[in-house]
Amino acid sequence: MELPKRKPMRLPEYDYAGHGAYFVTICTKDRRCILSNITVGADAPGGPNVQLTDTGKTVEQYIQSMERMAGFHVDKYVVMPNHIHMILSVDNGPPRASAPTVSDAVGALKRLVNRRLGRDIWQRSFHEHVIRNEQDYREIWEYIDENPARWVGDRYYEP
C-alpha cells in the first residue's frame, strides 16, 4: 500500500520554541507494527492491554528520558504497534535564541532510539498539533487514553 505524501502542517507565524503543549504523533517506517501488541475484547477483560516489544521498551525508555531535556516534559504518551502519541509540554524559561523546539525534541528521540537499535525505525516526518486550550488538552488526553481500545479498527491492525 502506498502511503500518502506529507506536506508541512506548521503554522507559519507560530513560535514552536515558546511555551505551550503539543500533541505529537511519530509513526514507524512503512507503518510496521514493531512497537507493541495490543489485546482487546474477550482476551483483555480489564480493558485493552498494551504489551511492548523489545523495540517498544527502548522507545518508552527514551520517551521517559525526555524529562532530562531542558525545557520539555512528557505529560502523557502511549506506544501503539506502529506509532506513538505524546503530549509534549515546552517551558523554556525566558526567551533565548537557542531554545530547543518540538522538532529538536522529536529529532533527538528518533536519533537516540535509532542509534540504540542500530537501525532506522521511524517515518521521516512527524505530526504535531498545537494544543490551544484546556478543552483541547483534555480531549487529546482522552484520545491517547482510548487509543489502544480503537486499535482493532485501525487499517493496520492484524489479528
Cα-Cα-Cα-Cα dihedral sign, residues 150, 103, 77, 93: negative
Q: Kindly state whether residue 158 falls inside one of the protein's structural domains.
A: no
pLDDT digits (tens, 9 = 90+) for 84-128: 999 999 876 656 556 678 999 999 999 999 999 999 999 999 999
Q: Which domain holds residue 146?
A: 20-152
Please, are residues 117 and 54 in contact by the beta-carbon 8 Å criterion?
A: no
pLDDT, residue 25, reads 98
Confirm whether 49 is domain-assigned: yes
**Does any domain span residue 93?**
yes
CA–CA distance, 30 with 157 (Å, rounded to integer): 14
Q: For residue 71, what is the domain's CATH number?
A: 3.30.70.1290
Determine, yes or no, domain membership for 12. no
Task: Name the phi and psi angles at 138, rounded to 5.
Answer: -60, -40
Confirm whether 9 is domain-assigned.
no
User: Is residue 36 included in any domain, yes or no?
Assistant: yes
Return the number of other C-beta atoms located less than 10 Å from residue 20's C-beta: 17
In angstroms, rounded to a whole number, what is the distance separating the alpha carbons of residues 96 and 34?
Answer: 38
Name the domain count of the chain. 1
Predicted structure pTM score: 0.83
